[in-house]
Amino acid sequence: MRDFDSIWTELEPWLAGLESRREAVVRRLITGIVAVVPGGLAVILVLSALGLPGGLAVFAAIILVSILIGIVSAPFHALRTEVKHGLNNRLAAAFDLRYAPKPGNPAHFDSFRSHGLIPNSDQREFEDHFSGEAHGAEFELYEAVLRQRRRSRKRTYYVTVFRGVLIRVAFPRTIEGVTLITRDQGIFNALDGLMRSANGRRLERIGLVDPKFERIFQVYGTDQVMARYLMTPTFMERVLSLETALKGKNVRGVFDEALADGFGRGELLLAAETGNLFEPGSLFKPLNARERVETLYRDFELIEEIIALVLAPDEKPEWMA
């Protein structure tokens, strides 16, 4: 991983070169909106004067205004996408990662759901896929936004039920069976335990010796011995540290031997609600502002921290020292 100052030295000229385009697309967007909205009101008046019912006139004006705003804002959104992909590609290379704007095949998405790490969803969006190798293990991370469809008597709408990162790690230690790390459910732990199963096998609650860990998490497994082999005091410290690094955003995970698929001896899946990461910031501010890239750089440090905590707790990047 390169230090931020050297990365900024390379990125600043590129961003400065895009500044005139940014100013132009922002002017076009503002000018277009100022012109389109009054035009929409004029359309309503004209259609109403021609005898079209008021509701239909408003609907037609809304459709027209939406189309025109889409046209005038297209260059704005195109530049934002160009800046985002350019920054993420360059920063990923600096962190020895590979970047793809959209994951071609989201890693084990169905397994995340079947293990209860993420909720059911009717709409799914995936973006910002990163992959690489650390401490001899392959890993990948991507963002997911999941929405559920809701209905009322008058309309159908969608509610976001998960926004965060999904992480897949080829775990370097031998994994047998399934060991699930989920959130503590308080008085509902007993009921939660009765409902847990994996690959047709019932998961039993695993009693651990760390009271701090057990206040936050519950662990279930198909094999008590294997679960304790994986959930060492050191690894529990890693998970607690990861919870802190992500600011308490509901980290949960599973070790599963069935997920290896030639990728390793077994895999660890992690889900965390992190909000929307890896974004380039507002185009209404100068592109070559140092704080814009610093914010994005911290998102990449988070990837580094996650992998370091999961795979090598005694080896920390220099910036974590």
Q: How many helical (H) and strand (E) elements, i.e. helices and strands, does the chain have?
A: 9, 11
Q: Over the stretch 243-273, which tens digit does the pLDDT of each residue have?
A: 777 766 788 999 988 765 544 467 889 999 8
Mean pLDDT of the 292-308 span: 87
Mean pLDDT of the 192-206 span: 67
pLDDT, position 67: 80
Find out whether 220 and 204 touch, Cβ atoms under 8 Å: yes
pLDDT band at 48 (very low <50, low <70, confident <90, very high): low
Mean pLDDT of the 218-242 span: 86
pLDDT, position 260: 58
The alpha-helical segments, DSSP class H, found in 95-218 are: 109-114, 189-194, 211-216
Mean pLDDT of the 55-62 span: 69
pTM equals 0.82
pLDDT, position 203: 84
The size of the chain, in residues, is 321
For every residue of 19-41, DSSP letters joined together read HHHHHHHHHHHHHHHHHHHHHHH
Pair of tokens at residue 40: 């929409």
CA 8 to the chain's CA centroid: 25
Task: In whole angstroms, give the CA distance from residue 300 to residue 277.
Answer: 9
pLDDT band at 78 (very low <50, low <70, confident <90, very high): very high
Task: In whole angstroms, give the CA distance from residue 209 to residue 183.
Answer: 17
pLDDT band at 45 (very low <50, low <70, confident <90, very high): low
Task: In whole angstroms, give the CA distance from residue 311 to residue 291.
Answer: 30
Q: In the 3-class helix/strand/coil scheme, how is 200-251 assigned residue by residue?
A: CEECEECCCCCHHHHHHEEEEECCHHHHHHHCCHHHHHHHHHHHHHCCCCCC
pLDDT, position 5: 92
